[in-house]
Structure 1
Amino acid sequence: MATVASNPVPAHRQYLLLLHAAWRGQLQYRGNLVLTLIGGVLYQGVGLAFVWAVVAKFGHVGGWGMGELAFLYGVRLTAHAAWTIPFNRLNSMDWMVQRGEFDRYLIRPAGTLTQFLNWSTNIQPLGDLIGGVGVLVAASSAAPIDWSPTAVLYLLATIAGGALVECSLQLGLCGLSFRLQATYALRMNFIDNIMNNFGGYPLTIFPSVMRFALTFLLPLAFVAYLPANVLLHRTGELSVAPWLAWCAPLLGPLLFAAAYKFWYGQLKHYKSSGT
């Protein structure tokens, strides 16, 4: 009996097919989509409103006016949304490992991480994206930025690089879930909270020890703060060399490559719970 040789589907094609199926399922519920998007925009708007209240009270934050702060906030929020839209299923890593649900991804003819990321999706990050882009557009005219083609390309690289920095931290810690069973508290209650609470402010308002920690230990500064200083022509106030701020978007791809390799390296330690 003749056998038909099968051509494996390329990894990127697998990802796009599964992603399309996941989003198509979510978009069937249009009322839920609209309410979720509105909720996401309003939630992020509260954070920006708090910044505005502080500026209205004191006139500036660390020497940054409202336009500059809004731009920093917009960059941070857009980068956050850019990674949470395709990688939001990482929040379910602990649950999938603890219940043995991860077994299914090890026996199917597709990439393990690709399957896991697209078994379902969450539309709430779209609200973050809409809010972030909206703030960026509004702040672009208020902030003192020379919008040359180079500046636009650098901004796009900043958003992509910042997204990969955050994603890398989450993906790497998710790899530890194969050993520790639970990393949610560290990922969301610690890392994500720090990113959300401090990412929209200039680091000059913090003590030097904290600035060092948020730059070299937990690289929050590389997500938005350092590149924003470049675009706002404020590199003179940095406690690091200006060239490091210019190169900030490059950290994202490097960290993501390391996190991706680490995640798959930890996968060999996965042991099914048998449930």
Structure 2
Amino acid sequence: MAERERFERAAEYMRNASGLRLSNEQKLQLYGYFKQAKEGECTTTKPGFFDFTGRAKWEAWHSLGRMTKDEAVTQYLATVSAISPEWETVSPTEDGGDEEGEGGGGGVGPTVSRLADQEEELAEEEKTVFDWCKEGREDRLRSHLTPNNINNRDNEGMTLLHWACDRGRLNIVELLATRGADINSQDDDKQTPLHYASSCDQVDVVTYLLSKGADPSIKDCDDLTPAQVAGDPSTRQLFHTLSDQ
């Protein structure tokens, strides 16, 4: 059997194998190899700061760098064999997966594990400026912004600007900054909007915030600056490059 065919069969096995109990590390490792084998190098945008599941999956895939699809297939097969050496002797109809294909493998085959649950959908009349900001609805946000609510905080101390930076919405960031948002506001963990943009590797947002006077020396409750929480070396380098200009 060709290696690609073995890969597809291994992925089907992992999707349906209800008897397996995998650690989060194993699930993420399999997820990364699977995505690399199917799509190649990760070029998608890093999920927002509060999408913990999405960020973990993105990092598992992104960490593989330029590994070829064939190499990823080989690594996926080796990982599956290490977890379940007998997988090739099991018929796809004998592994006990449920009808939706969500077995003990946690969806690390063709059906990958789901991202963090979507936020509850609200009726239009129930939405607040925070909802419009998170959704990137600039038109609605413009009509609801006032000097009294632009620096409001949610139950985690996050302002609208924190959320816009977390989601990487440069147009919303620019709108808020020009309307008087506190560019150096700190949430309950003492993180500024610049911390959020940096952590999510939103390079265009980081560049804009710094051009508007965001303070890169502010430290959060873990004593970390925005540059230090960056997930990608290129984002950290951006701080040094702009500081030298």
TM-score normalised to structure 2 length:
0.28
Per the normalisation by structure 1, the TM-score is 0.26
RCO higher in 1 or 2 (8 Å CA, sep ≥ 6)?
1
